[in-house]
């Protein structure tokens, strides 16, 4: 198991499912789309809409494309 990244800060969190441990899978709060007190991830950094995350439960590191932010608007309305 990896140690927590030294830049991990509880003040920078994201609510994204962990692809390794899937600890949020049976959580009613997470399934309802709300911000759960137990199943958050460290938001280590981001480059635009690409988030770099670490799970505090299993310490898995991964990148996740949120498709949120500048450049995600698609074509302008006609």
Query: pTM for this one?
Result: 0.81
The pLDDT tens digits for 59-75 are: 999 999 998 765 545 54
Q: Is 72 part of any domain?
A: no
Q: How many residues does the chain have?
A: 78
- Domain of residue 61 covers 13-65
Q: Is 2 part of any domain?
A: no
Tokens of 20: 């390794």
Measured in whole angstroms, how far is the alpha carbon of residue 26 from the centre of its chain? Answer: 17
Domain count, the chain: 1
Q: Is 61 part of any domain?
A: yes
The pLDDT tens digits for 3-13 are: 999 999 999 99
**For the chain, what is the radius of gyration of the CA atoms?**
14
């Amino acid at each position: 198991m990896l140690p927590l990244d030294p830049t991990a800060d509880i003040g920078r969190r994201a609510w994204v499912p962990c692809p390794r441990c899937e600890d949020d899978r049976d959580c009613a709060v997470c399934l309802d789309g709300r911000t759960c007190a137990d199943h958050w991830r460290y938001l280590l950094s981001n480059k635009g809409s690409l988030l770099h995350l670490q799970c505090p439960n299993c310490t898995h590191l991964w990148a996740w494309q949120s498709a949120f932010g500048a450049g995600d608007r698609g074509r302008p309305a006609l």
